[in-house]
Amino acid sequence: MGIVKAEKLTKVYPSGDGVWDIDLEVQEGQIFGFLGANGAGKTTTIRVLLGLLHSTSGKVRVLGEDPLGKKGIEKRREIGYLPGELALYEKHKGIDLLDFYAKSLDGKAPYREEVMKALSFSGKDLNKKIREYSRGMKQKLGLIIALQHKPQLVFMDEPTTGLDPLIQLEVYQLLKNYVGGGGTVFMSSHNLGEVEKVCNRVAIIRKGKLVALEDVEELVRRRVYSVQFSLSPEPTEKDLREVGMREIKIDHGVINGKLAGDPDAFLRKLLDKGKVQDLSCTRGKLEDVFLEYYRPEEEAE
């Protein structure tokens, strides 16, 4: 059984918003990415998995237990959590807050120094009042709180919010090291570049419903490419669709368009149509694949 498992998880608010029939499973040792636009239902799902919200229906197991049952509540000691909307006791020093959370776990903070080093967070920083911290510093402190006791599992809601790009890279390496040491990460994000760098598997949620659950490698294989070329004799738009192109534009013999999937297969089919000239092919970003899951409904509206 997975370390995190949801079966037909549904949470509906009085407003009618919520999540419906979420099925997912996270294996031990994974960095699992939970992706969606803002408001898609990522935070609601995480809060139900943590036992911070009751589900309307469905079944949830985290570390093998119902998070709202007695054993599930005891298991919370083995879980770390970085919320998306981080609220801290700003009149206290950073070190006081870290020690406060450590004392709730028998004073254990075996991973604190390693996390601080990875985030370039110094002892001097810890001795400042939290109200003096920048947004990025507060986010770093939240990461330390979530990881300092070296939990078996950590949930992170948009973990790199407010961090500069260099520190983001350090966070990615930190998470890989943590997983290499036996941990598991469940992280929500709307940053596809982030997910591509660190995650093994990904779920995509759209308006409260799961629309994809795949290995990141599979998503990468389905990248969208931008292509430009000329073909003699000049093809029709129908010819170009037959070889796998879409969003086609032809201007004075120059053909532009998008291609999803294997470019090798596209080129072989294209060469059967005629002589190819001045071909350029630019690999798209994972964001383009993500948008494929959002585009159909938007085009229909």
Distances (CA, A) of 263 to 215, 231, 293: 20, 16, 21
CB 47 within 8 A of CB 53: yes
Look at residue 136 and tell me whether its pLDDT is greater than 50. Answer: yes
Mean pLDDT score of the chain: 91
Could you report the per-residue pLDDT of 155-190, keeping only the tens digit for each?
A: 999 999 889 999 999 999 999 999 999 999 999 987
pLDDT computed for residue 119 by the predictor: 94
Nearest to residue 125, comparing CAs of 158, 169, 94?
Answer: 94
What is the pTM for the complete model shown? Answer: 0.81
Choose from 68-72, 102-106, 192-196, 288-292 the range with maximum mean pLDDT. 68-72
Domain ranges of the chain: 4-220, 224-284
pLDDT at 299: 42
**Would the pLDDT of 147 be above 90?**
yes
Strands 209-215, 224-232: pairing is unpaired
Coil, strand or helix at 299: helix
- In this prediction, residue 225 carries a pLDDT of 86
CATH 3.30.70.260 fits 224-284, yes or no: yes
How many Å apart are CA 155 and CA 142, to the nearest integer? 12
CATH of domain 4-220: 3.40.50.300
Structure confidence at residue 259 (pLDDT): 87
